[in-house]
Structure 1
Amino acid sequence: MAEAALRRIAAGTSLHRIHRTHHSAIFFGPIGSEPQGRFDAPDGSFKILYAARSLETAFGETLVRSPQNPFVLSTAVAARVRSELLVTSTLRLYPLVDGGVSKLGLSFTDLHGDAYAKTWAVSAHIHGATNADGILYTSRFDNQRCVAIFDRAASSIAESSKINLPFPPSEAAKLSEKFGKIYVEP
């Protein structure tokens, strides 16, 4: 697999997460060794923190999981909170955002699909063969940037003063509408 010029996110940059209420704002997962997320280690040898460059993108990636479903349920939103993280030292990220993905044997269908075997393998390669702090990728819902940060870069991020904040229903409804979804309360 080919090397790529690492992209950088500068210290002082904000990242956004929407996470389950029982996880901390800075959570590297999954729990256990079984991969679950798009860039998790296939063998559990490293952990990943997922975040987005904007709150809207984090909402899409977390709560607009099934494009065919026209609804965002208030119960799903209530089970999560939003947090803002700060990059404390420059993050060096392996880019999976342009035509270079084919050098890794991937397509954007692989990156944006729900079958993760290929992305797990690529993540393991990037983790093992480069000094990248994580992966820069494109959201499948709004074409904006997301990051999958390797646990070896944990010291490069910190909590801001805006952590574990609930979503007011009006904001969840507005964000749902942005993605063409209807926010449904019980």
Structure 2
Amino acid sequence: MLSPTNMPPADLNERRLPVEEIPAGEAFFRMHRTALGAKFFGRTGWRFDSPGRAFGTLYAARTAEIAFAETLLRGQRPIVAESELHIRSFCEFRLQRVVRLVKLHGPSLIAIGATAAVTSGSYDVSQAWAQALHDHPDQPDGILYRSARDNDRFALALFERAAAALDLGTSTPVMADPARLGGILDHYSASLV
């Protein structure tokens, strides 16, 4: 059973959202299947997707390392199937305008009545928050949160209404840059199988 304290408070729309403005020109990273487009706003039921599929969500990260970890280091051991690397690319997007992201970390959690369970707990809780933040009168472009895989770094969920804020991105196959891949694997003490 969900604790009511984990869900958005009834007065959320009356609270001012803690927003970080990310300037135009800033880069974000996404790891995607090479055969599919990188600019994908999903409605498939991930952490910050709309529970009713009312809007799509694009997941990205502040660094390529976090995009890698969020995509491929999801088990209890840092092991990656080499076959997964051959079918994936990194995409670097650039912002075409300022985006406003709700800060779901640090003291900002208290300001809006949230806890860390929003970003690392049940998807039911995360999706309820995504819907509430999307529908808030402040109309944020998305959410900035600590990665569940590496909580020293940040990931983001961009709401579909901000699609025009991203350029088309530049994708590079993961295996095309062995030095980058090696650095990421070393950073996470990950191994290939």
Shorter-chain TM-score bucket reads: 0.7 to 0.9
What's the CA shift string for 1:130-180, capped at 9, x where partnerless?
3100111111222211111111011111124x32x1112834343122112
Alignment of 1:86-105 (within 5 A): 86-102=94-110, 104=112
Determine if contact 2:17/2:112 at 8 Å carries over to the other structure: no
Is the Cα–Cα contact under 8 Å of residues 104 and 122 in structure 1 kept in the other structure?
A: no
Post-superposition offset of 1:5: 2.6
Q: How far off its partner does 1:103 sit?
A: 5.1
RMSD of Structure 2 on Structure 1 (CA): 1.8
> Where do 1:40-51 residues align within 5 Å?
40-51=49-60
How far, CA to CA, are the matches of 2:52 and 2:73 in structure 1?
27
Question: For 1:54-133, what aligned pairs fall within 5 Å after superposition?
Answer: 54-66=63-75, 68-102=76-110, 104=112, 106-113=114-121, 115-129=122-136, 130-133=138-141
Which of 163, 172, 177 aligns to 2:181? It is: 172
- Asked if residue 16 in structure 1 is aligned to residue 29 in structure 2, the reply is yes
Letter in 1 for 2:72: L
Distance 1:110 1:133, change over 3 A: closer
Give the drift of 1:104: 4.8
Q: Contact 1:63 / 1:77 at 8 angstroms: preserved in 2?
A: no
Residues 69, 131 of structure 1: alpha-carbon distance in 2 compared, 3 angstrom cutoff: same
- Give the CA deviation at 1:4: 2.0
Q: SS in structure 1 opposite 2:167?
A: strand
Distance in structure 1 (CA, Å) of the matches to 2:149 and 2:52: 28
- Aligned to 1:49, the other structure's residue is in SS state strand
User: With structure 2 as the length reference, what TM-score do the two structures score?
Assistant: 0.83
Taking structure 1 as reference, are residues 174 and 183 closer, same or farther at Cα in structure 2, changes over 3 Å only?
farther
Question: Cα offset for 1:14?
Answer: 0.8
**Unpaired stretches in structure 1, ≥5 consecutive residues:** none
Please state how far the C-alpha of 1:108 moved relative to its aligned partner: 1.9
TM-score (norm 1): 0.86
**Cα–Cα, structure 1 residues 64 and 85, in superposed 2: closer, same or farther, change >3 Å?**
same
Count residues in correspondence. 176
